[in-house]
Structure 1
Amino acid sequence: MTTNTETGEIQQAPVAAFLASHLNGRTDEELSAEFHQLLDAVRAHGKKGQMTITIVVEPPANGVDSAPMPIGVESTVKAPKPTPVKSLYFLDDDGQPVREDPRQMAIEFRNAPSTTDFKKA
């Protein structure tokens, strides 16, 4: 932050410019890649997602005013996931999931006899 001596106006450095130059542009590249992965996931799954960028600023070492301040950038992405496929189950008398309804009466099937004789019309 600097102050214009003529007007007394305070000029602040843009955060976007800081992010673009942090670690020689590597942070900007990483954040851009994560952002586009989030966009792809939202488009693919039709659900909302979220990206959080955190700038961590630590005080100068030993409280010295002229010492450098460590600044780091962290990001978290909560991309949507596909809805898991579900299958239907019934609970048997023991509380175990089973595919067939335990209350449904079972019907035994048998093969019909085969024949090669056909009726003539």
Structure 2
Amino acid sequence: MDKKTSRLRRAVPTRRKIAQLRMHRLAVFRSNQHIYANITTPDGDRVLVSASTNEAEIRQQLASETGRGGNTSAAAIIGKRVAEKAKAAGIEQVAFDRAGYRFHGRVKALAEAAREAGLKF
């Protein structure tokens, strides 16, 4: 069993519980260089809001700072941005899906920034 399979296996119980609660889901994916956050419908069929370090505005913002998209400061920017977009779309409360990643480092920075920006989960 490789790392990706193990991570996805750990994500299954959380995703099952979120589907049972019928809430909007804030899903996080992190790669070595970037971090992505999506808010999907309770059915999981549509992405309502998304933010990532691949967006042009974010890349310009990160170019002035040290590093690119693979650090906690970039994750905090993405958390704040996804929360602002969610508030604009009328989404106040979500369930946080860390996708099998530990709640530590970039994932934690994204979650805390989203909470500070007014998103409840």
TM-score (norm 2): 0.23
Where is the helix percentage greater, Structure 1 or Structure 2? 2
TM-score (norm 1): 0.23
State which structure, 1 or 2, has the greater radius of gyration over its C-alpha atoms: 1
